[in-house]
Amino acid sequence: MFDWRWDFTFEILPRLIVATGNTLLAAGLGYAIAVVLGLVLALAQRTPFRPLTMAVREAVEFVRSTPLVLQIFFVFYVGPQFGIRLSPWTAGMIAIGLHYAAYLSEVYRGGLECVPKGQWEAAKSLNLSMPRTYFRVILPQALPPSLAGMGNYLVGIFKDTPMLSVIGVAELMHTANAIGSETYRFLEPFTLVGIIFLCISLPTAAAVRFFEAWVRRKLGLS
């Protein structure tokens, strides 16, 4: 029943490994955008300026309740109608970075809420400036409770990179699909893609847990 061809497998492996590099690059870049932008979105929701907090809140909700693939299409195909012409990579990174920024901002919000009120009051009674209070007192304590959620979304963004194939980013899925169309063999390429994803997702999840414990130790919290 199975017609697995090892020679074909080894023939396509190099191409898939190169594509894995692109997948990792896409996930890494997208995540970097999401980590930074997510923090900006979380902090923006804590400013005393109501219109800003409301607008950001709504934007986050909007992004979270619409599909990622739609957002990717939107940035790539609707952008040009407004004169914004982006390469698949740029459009993809904007869409996926924005999408995950919305999710990460919620993780940060939860982490920030874990910091006891007394920490804010101690910082204020020492007259620390607002930026210093955030960056030296509050955020380091908000980080450990956020790490589990951040780790989940790191794996999540990695698994979502195949969606970038719809606009032609040459990541794993796109490459496997191309190989299939060229050779009419789908079993080997798609199986390999599955294995590659598994081989990266599982250790990443484990590494995140170690990292979390390490950060807690490093900060003297446990």
Number of residues that bind other proteins (CB under 8 A): 20
- Give CA–CA dist 194/204, Å, rounded: 15
CB 189 within 8 A of CB 117: no
Smallest distance from other proteins to CB 217, Å: 10
DSSP string across 1-57: -----HHHHHHHHHHHHHHHHHHHHHHHHHHHHHHHHHHHHHHHTTSS-HHHHHHHH
Q: By C-beta, is 78 or 221 nearer to other proteins?
A: 221
DSSP string across 126-179: TT--HHHIIIIIIHHHHHHHHHHHHHHHHHHHHHHGGGGGGGT--SHHHHHHHH
Under the binding rule (CB under 8 A), the answer on residue 114 touching other proteins is no
Q: Which residues contact 21 (CB under 8 A, 6 or more apart)?
A: none
Which one of 83-91, 111-119, 149-157, 160-168 is the stretch in contact with other proteins (CB under 8 A)?
111-119
Smallest distance from other proteins to CB 132, Å: 5
14, 51, 83, 220: residue in contact with other proteins (rule CB under 8 A): 220
Q: By C-beta, is 14 or 220 nearer to other proteins?
A: 220
65, 81, 181, 222: residue in contact with other proteins (rule CB under 8 A): 222
Q: Which residues contact 86 (CB under 8 A, 6 or more apart)?
A: 75, 76, 79, 94
Smallest distance from other proteins to CB 144, Å: 9
117-136: contacts with other proteins (CB under 8 A) = 118-119, 121-122, 124-129, 132, 136
Smallest distance from other proteins to CB 141, Å: 6
Smallest distance from other proteins to CB 122, Å: 4
Question: Under the rule (CB under 8 A), what is the footprint of other proteins?
Answer: 116, 118-119, 121-122, 124-129, 132, 136-137, 140-141, 219-222
